[in-house]
Structure 1
Amino acid sequence: MKEGPKQAGAAKQLFYSQRVAPYVFVLPFILSFLIFFAYPVVSTILMSFQEVLPGQTRFIGFDNYERLWNDSFFTALKNNTRYTIWTLLILIPLPLVLAVFLNSKAMRWSGFFRSALFIPTLTSVVVAGTIFRLIFGQTDLAVMNMLRHAFGFETINWLADSTTGMFVLVVLATWRYAGINLIYFLSGLQTIPQDLYESAEIDGANRWNRFWRITVPLLKPVTIYVITISIYGGYAMFTESYMLWSGNHSPNDIGLTMLGYIYRSGIEKNELGFGSSIGLTLLAIMLVINIIQLKFFGLFKKEED
C-alpha cells in the first residue's frame, strides 16, 4: 500500500519532466502523420507492385509501370501539362498586375474590387463547373454561342474539341483562382517599404523601372510560392474537368486528367494497383518539376556570409 503513492508520484514527475513533456505535446502530430500520411504512402507504394482484386492481392513486379507506356497515361499527362502551362502564363502576371493597381493609393474603390475579384474563389468548383458547362454549351442558346452569333460566327460545340475545351478549362481557372493569387501578391506588396519607392522616384525612376527594380525582386518569395502551388493545382486538377464534361469520359479523352485517370483505373475499373502506380508516377513528376523551378529561382543556394 505504501508503494502506490510513490509510484503515482514518480509517474507524475516523469510526465511533467522537461525531457518527456515535449514528446507528449508532439505525440498527436506524430500519430496523425503515421496514420494518415505515412501508412497510406507505404500502402500505395506496395500496391503499385501488386494486382489488387477483391479479396486477394499478388505481386506482379513492374507490370503496372510498364502498362503506363501502352495506355492513356500520356494523354492525361499532356492535358495536365498544357493546362498547367496556360494557368502559369495567366495566373501569375495577371494577379500581379491587378495587385499593383489595387495597392496603389490612387486606386479608387479598391476594397470593392478586391472583394469582387475574390468572391469567385469562394464558389464551389461543382457549381462553377456546371455554370461554365451551360455558358459554353453546344446549343444555339448557350451564352458564348449567342455571342458568336452577334459577330456573325456559327454555333460550335466548345467541349468537343481539344483546343476549345482547353480554352474553357483555362477560362474557368482564371475566373476562379485569380482572386486568391491576387491576395497573395497584395500581402507581399504591403510588406515592401514605401521609402524605397519614394527614394527611387527622387532619383528619377519612372513607374516601369520601379516595378521591375523594386516590386518584382522583393516579391520573389511570394512569386515562388504562387508558382509552386499553381504547379500542384495544375497537375491535381480533376473536379473542373469532371463537371465540364459531366463525368470522367470526354470525347477522345480531351478532358482526361491525371487524377481522372487514377479515378478511372482505381475506382471505375477496380484496378487499385495500376491506379497506385499512376499516382506515384504523378508524384515523382511533380517533385522533379518543383525541384527544377526552385533550383531555377536559386532557392537551394547557400547564403553568403
Structure 2
Amino acid sequence: MVSANEKVVKKKRFLSEEKKDRISAYLYISPFFIIFAVIGLYPALYSMYLAFQKWNGLSPMEFVGLNNFKIVLMDPLFWKSLYNTIIIGLMGTAPQLVVGIILAFLLNLSFLRFRNFFRVTIFMPYITSMVAVALIFSVLFSNHESSLANYVLGVFGFDPVNWGASEWGTKIAISVMVFWRWVGYNTIIYLAGLQSISNDLYEAATIDGANKFQQLLYITMPMLKPFIILTVFFSTVGALQLFAEPTVFLGASAFTRDEAMTVVMYLYRDAFKLQSFGTASATAIILLFIIIIFSALNTFLTSGVGRKKGEAK
C-alpha cells in the first residue's frame, strides 16, 4: 500500500511550481479567449453556417446550398457596392498614406516649434465623435452654393456641386471624410517608425558621404518598411469595410441610394432591412475573400519598398 507521505510527494510533484505558474498564466489570459470565442469566433462560424441557409430571423431555417452566393453574385447592386467601395477606398485611403508619411517627416524635424501641439492636433480627427464629424461635413459639403466646398470651387471658376445627390460629389465628400479622419492615425504610426531609427545610422552615412536623398532611400525607407506594410494592411481592410462614413454623411437615405452604397452597407441592408440573413452571411463570406485577396496584393506590392535593386527577395 502507498503511504501517506508518498501520496503527499506525488501531489507535490503533480502541482510543481512550474505547473502552478503555467495554470496561473492561462487563467490570467483566459478572459480574452472567452470573450473572443463568444463575440468573435462563434458569430463568424455561425455566419458561415447561415450562408447556406434561407432564414428571415423568425421562421425555421431552410438549407439552400450555394443559392445565397448565386443571388448575391447575380445582383447588380452588389457589384455596384463593390465598385463604390473600391473607388472610395482608393480616393480616401491612398492619399492619406502618402500625406501621412510627409506629415510624419515634418513633425519629426528637430527645429520645428510646437511639435507636440501639432502632433496632438493631427491625431484629433481620429478620436472625434462620428456625430461631430457628420455635423462638420454636412456643413462643409452642403448642397447650398454658399457652402465652404462650393465656395472653394467658385474661387477656381468651377460651378457649385450638389454634393449630397450627385454620383461623384457624394464619393468625393465621403473620401475627404475618410481622409480627414484617418490621416492622423497613419501619421502617428509613421512618426513612431521614424523615431525608432537610430541617429547613429544617419551620422555614419554622413561620414561616408551620403547625401540626404541617399539617406532617405537607403536608410529611412527600408527601416520604415514594416510600418508602411502595417498601415497599408490596416487601410486596405478598413477601406473594404467602409460603413460609418457613408452612413453618417447620407443619413436616412443611405440605404435607399446606390451611388455611395458599400459592400458592408449592402450586407447590413440585407440583414436588418430586408431580413435576409442568408444572403447577408453569403455577402460577408465573399467580402472576407475579397479582403484576403486585396490585402495579400497590397502587402506584396509594399514589401518591395526600400529594397535595393537586384536584392534577393
TM over 0.5: yes
1:117 aligns with 2:122: yes
1:76 Cα offset (Å): 0.9
The one of 87, 95, 99 aligned to 1:94: 99
Contact kept? 1:185, 1:219, Cα under 8 Å: yes
Q: Deviations over 1:19-77 (max 9, x none)?
A: 77154444433333322222111110110111112132111111110012222111111
Separation (CA, whole Å) in 1 of partners of 2:78 and 2:148: 34
Q: What residue number does 2:52 align with?
A: 49
CA contact (8 A) 1:47 1:276 kept: yes
| CA–CA distance in structure 2, aligned partners of residues 79 and 61 of structure 1 | 28
C-alpha change, 1:10 and 1:200, in structure 2 (3 Å) is closer
Identify unmatched segments of 5+ residues in structure 2. Answer: 305-311
Instruction: Find the partner of 1:216 among 218, 221, 225.
Output: 221
Alignment partner, residue 281 of structure 2: 276
Sort the Cα spacing of 1:155 and 1:65 in 2 relative to 1 into closer, same or farther, 3 A: same
Alignment of 1:114-153 (within 5 A): 114-153=119-158
Task: Give the structure 1 partner of residue 248 of structure 2.
Answer: 243
Cα distance change, pair 16–58 in 1 and its aligned pair in 2 (3 A): farther
Runs of 4+ that moved beyond 6 A: none
Contact 2:125 2:182 in 1 (8 A): yes
Aligned-partner SS, 2:54: strand
Is residue 2:294 matched to residue 1:293? no
SS at the partner of 1:104? coil
* 8 Å Cα contact 1:126-1:239 kept in structure 2: no
> How far has the Cα of 1:105 moved from its partner?
0.9
The alpha-carbon deviation at position 100 of structure 1 amounts to: 0.9
Structure 1 residues 98 and 24, CA gap change in structure 2 (3 angstroms) = closer
Distance 1:226 1:44 in 2: 28
Deviation, structure 1 residue 162: 2.3
The share of aligned pairs that are identical, in percent, is 28
Which amino acid in the other structure matches residue 37 of structure 1?
Answer: G
Which of 167, 189, 192 matches 2:172?
A: 167
Question: What corresponds to 2:112 in structure 1?
Answer: 107
Distance in 2, matches of 1:280 and 1:130, equals 34
Shift of 1:148: 3.4
SS class of match (1:44): helix
C-alpha distance in 1, partners of 2:108/2:135?
Answer: 33
Alignment: residue pair count = 295
User: How big is the shift at 1:225?
Assistant: 0.5
> 2:92 touches 2:176 (CA, 8 Å); kept in 1?
no
The separation in 1 between residues aligned to 2:154 and 2:294, in whole angstroms, is 42
Letter in 1 for 2:159: E
What letter matches 1:279 in structure 2? A
How many angstroms apart in 2 are the aligned matches of 1:203 and 1:27?
53
Distance 1:95 1:298 in 2: 18
Specify the SS of the correspondent of 1:89: helix
Gap change, CA 1:33 and 1:153, over 3 Å in 2 = closer
Question: Which blocks of at least 5 consecutive residues in structure 1 are unaligned?
Answer: none
* Structure 1 CA distance for aligned equivalents of residues 196 and 104 of structure 2: 13
| DSSP-derived class of the 1:95 partner | helix
The Cα offsets for residues 86-144 of structure 1, whole Å up to 9 and x where unpaired, read as 23421111111111111111222222211221111121123212321221111123222
Asked whether the equivalents of residues 120 and 176 of structure 1 are also in contact (C-alpha less than 8 Å), the reply is: yes
| CA apart distance, 1:247 | 3.1
Deviation at 1:269, TM superposition (A): 0.6
Q: CA deviation at 1:252?
A: 4.9
- Residue 177 of structure 1 aligns to a residue whose secondary structure is helix
Q: Is the 8 A contact 2:88 2:172 kept in 1?
A: no
After TM superposition, the score normalised by the length of structure 2 is 0.85
Q: Match for residue 308 of structure 2?
A: none
TM-score after normalising by structure 1? 0.87
Given that residues 91 and 172 in structure 2 are in contact (C-alpha distance below 8 angstroms), is that contact kept between their aligned partners in structure 1? Answer: no
What letter is aligned with 2:32?
Answer: F
Moved more, 173-182 or 17-26: 17-26
Q: Which residue of 2 aligns with 1:18?
A: 19
Q: Please name the residue that 1:36 is paired with.
A: 39
How far did residue 248 of structure 1 move? 5.2
Q: Does 1:59 align with 2:63?
A: yes
Name the amino acid aligned to 1:67.
I
Residue 32 and residue 125 in structure 1: after superposition, are their counterparts in 2 closer, same or farther (change >3 A)? same
1:291 Cα offset (Å): 2.2
